[in-house]
Amino acid sequence: MATSVVGMDIGGLMLRAVEVSDPGSARPTLLRYHQVQIPAGAVLSGEVIETNTVAGALKQLWAEGGFKTKNVVLGVGNQRVLARDLSVPKMSLARIRESLPFEVQEMLPIPIADALLDFYPIAEIEGETGPMVRGLLIAAVKAAVLANVNSAQLAGLTTVDVDLIPFALSRVLLSRPGVSGTVALIDIGGSTTSVVIAIDGVPQFVRIIATGGNDITQALRSDAEPAGEQPEETKRRLGLATGTVAAADKKAIEVIYKVASEQLTSLRNTINYFVNTRPIDAVRQIVLSGGGSQLRGLPEALAEMTRLPVEVADPFGTVALGRGLTLQELRRDGSEFAVALGLALGRAA
């Protein structure tokens, strides 16, 4: 009997969910997806602040989306989560995880008791004292994760796993499609931007940047809100406009370019940091996803700033489609659901 799970992406203004059957199979099936809006302030940078409000929105999401399972995988990925390089003596993954509290306290800005720890192995290497395992230490503030889990529980849902959002994105956009070479995956969300650099689909470097598409919206609201038009509408209409600009839009264009330029510079610097520390692993391509990446002209601007080819991701290329779903419909909305799909695919059936 086929089993299904829902990947749940808790964003700053939207809840997005994707239900997948047989997620551990070679070709899982996407059954349904849906999103609902949540009030501003209920979630900040991916962390639930108003538990009851989010629980109510989750109930609405399940009712409107017709999801059949209550089992969910939640994602974490904000400034209260860090990923750092770590090499440890070779042993089983279970023993490595058991040893983390004794190994990494000096690497963390918070007490071990307040953190949830995990280790993502990348490769075996030879160290000065014998075989080692090189990987990524993942540490999250426990309270931030539990707030999201509690919201799901209040909505009658069962959290079967919690996954790092950058890993979920890498899974659906780099690992399953089998993207070769050194590739930078950039997902621009509402309030955070994830950068994953992978070699042959295996994540090597993760950074979470505390900016996203909502920064442009907020800047427009503060400095250049045109009469009769909402800031989000202005952002979508203008984007990174080129050519002749109407006089009434000049202030808005200046604001959009200022914020977007700062974000693009941060992304370029992040990629350069990886390249400078790993000079033999030159990044050959950028894969772009997330709702914030849909800003008109942004892929072209990112390519120009980094001098790298930029490809807009297609997260649905390796899944079968359930009844009533079409690729045309999915590709219209698809980039915004990449996180939720990657979370669902990480849960073995």
Q: For the chain, which domains are there? A: 81-141 (3.30.1490.300), 177-312 (3.30.420.40)
**pLDDT 10s digits, 57-114:** 999 999 999 999 999 999 988 778 888 889 999 999 999 999 999 888 888 888 899 9
Which pTM was predicted?
A: 0.86
| CA 165/CA 7 separation, integer angstroms | 11
Instruction: Identify the pLDDT of residue 243.
Output: 77
Name the pLDDT band for 349 (thresholds 50, 70, 90): very low
Other beta carbons within 10 angstroms of residue 121's beta carbon come to 15
Q: Rounded CA gap, 23 and 29, in Å?
A: 7
| Residue range 199-223: mean pLDDT, rounded | 90
The residue with greater pLDDT, 55 or 105, is 55
The pair of three-digit structure tokens given for residue 16, joined into one six-digit string: 């997005």
Q: Where are the beta strands (DSSP E) in 94-212?
A: 115-127, 130-141, 158-164, 182-188, 193-199, 202-209
| Single-letter residue type at 268 | R
Cα–Cα separations (whole angstroms), residue 119 to 48, 98, 169, 245: 25, 10, 18, 50
Tell me the pLDDT band of 205, cut-offs 50, 70 and 90: very high
Residue whose entry in the numeric block shows the structure tokens 């510079």: 265
Say what the pLDDT of residue 12 is.
82
| b/e burial code for range 36-45 (CB count within 10 A of at least 16 → b) | bebeeebbeb
